[in-house]
Structure 1
């Protein structure tokens, strides 16, 4: 299996937006293993709408939990037990874009975290980071967690207003490449996302041996 595992330095940092951006540049399928929160729409629906792709390229979630909170708690409140063995990647002939929930150390179960799922899927990780104040600390901590687990980091996508000094610090201290910067867009459409060109070869990164 080849593709990317998309995670973030925090919640609401732009993972779904970056997943949609990737879907406009790659012949890939999208999978959200655990969806916590269904209002106003699920991340799968958002990705399909923004990337304007056929329904068949959106693979069904393993778990859909009604409340928007950490999956372990959302599952508990829904009376559901998340079984990590059910989070095996669906078969596809395309690249696979997998979007995690929250950040790397968000719990999925009593014992497992999002980073454990990333490790099981053996996909290069794309880390989504804010461009604004506080991002250096959050990003470097996330990079350190990936390194400690020996997980492959394809690079960072910076989301938000252009902040060159933060990007420079992330690249220098994190010893990581920035794949793209996604600025604030007045209109989110497939066309506006397609206009943002990756700075690195996505196909090559997605097919890297892990």
Structure 2
């Protein structure tokens, strides 16, 4: 098992990138977003780099940067290319720190297609990474959370636990109970998200399985 953590979400826009920054800061890990889509607002790598304050972490270059804010397989198709998962795996070997954790962030959820044959879930398995699931409360989030947990359970991929983002809701207590995966922490809504906020939230996370 590599020292790799894969940050996935129960959907899009649930706080994966901020969570990835906090986990990276907490572990003084390296950060890597292998596939980036939607470049109008910049990249998640740039965002995470701007939020880290420790002197150790390195933010590695993406393997694919695709303009369209769509699923990777569609964004690649629109640029007349195809995501080569073998190329992603080869790059993982290159960027993996020798003695520290690598935090990889996915695009969307586990069943997001990377190409016509491979889903994000398949990439996680081949990376031999442990998973942190990012969840946020919204109408339908219980279903999305438990579907994510179920597919991970059925795949046999190791899961470190949940990190919840946004305002607290009792739903998250039940999601923890029903899934059997522990709560690693929560990242609240903030008027200002900066290095100080990320450092503070990183210090509150309990990522026990990653030490």
TM over 0.5: yes
Does the 8 A contact of 1:132 with 1:160 survive in 2? no
Q: TM-score w.r.t. structure 2 length?
A: 0.91
The match for 1:142 is: 148
CA contact (8 A) 1:48 1:54 kept: no
The residue that corresponds to 1:48 in the other structure is: 49
Contact 1:11/1:102 (CA < 8 Å) preserved in 2?
Answer: yes
SS of residue in 2 equivalent to 1:103: coil
Deviation at 1:131, TM superposition (A): 2.7
CA deviations over 1:149-171 (Å, ceiling 9, x no partner):
100110011011111x1111111
1:109 and 2:110 correspond: no
Equivalent-residue separation in structure 1 for 2:52 and 2:11 (angstroms): 23
> 68-77 or 19-28: which moved more?
19-28
In the superposition, relative to structure 1, how do residues 92 and 166 fare at CA in structure 2: closer, same or farther (>3 Å)? same
C-alpha distance in 1, partners of 2:79/2:131? 30
| Gap runs ≥5 in structure 2 | none
CA displacement, residues 82-137 of structure 1 (integer Å, 9 cap, x when unaligned): 11101111232221000011000000010000001100111110000003332211
The equivalent residue for 2:136 is 130
2:177 to 172, 191, 194: 172
Stretches of 4+ moved more than 3 A in 1? 52-56
**Cα offset, 1:54, TM superposition:** 6.4
**In structure 2, how many angstroms separate the alpha carbons of the residues matched to 1:54 and 1:109?**
36
- C-alpha displacement at 1:3, in angstroms? 3.0
Aligned twin of 1:205:
209
1:65 aligns with 2:66: yes
How far 1:9 sits from its partner (Å)?
0.4
Moved more, 128-137 or 118-127: 128-137
Distance 1:95 1:186 in 2: 30
RMSD over aligned Cα atoms = 1.6
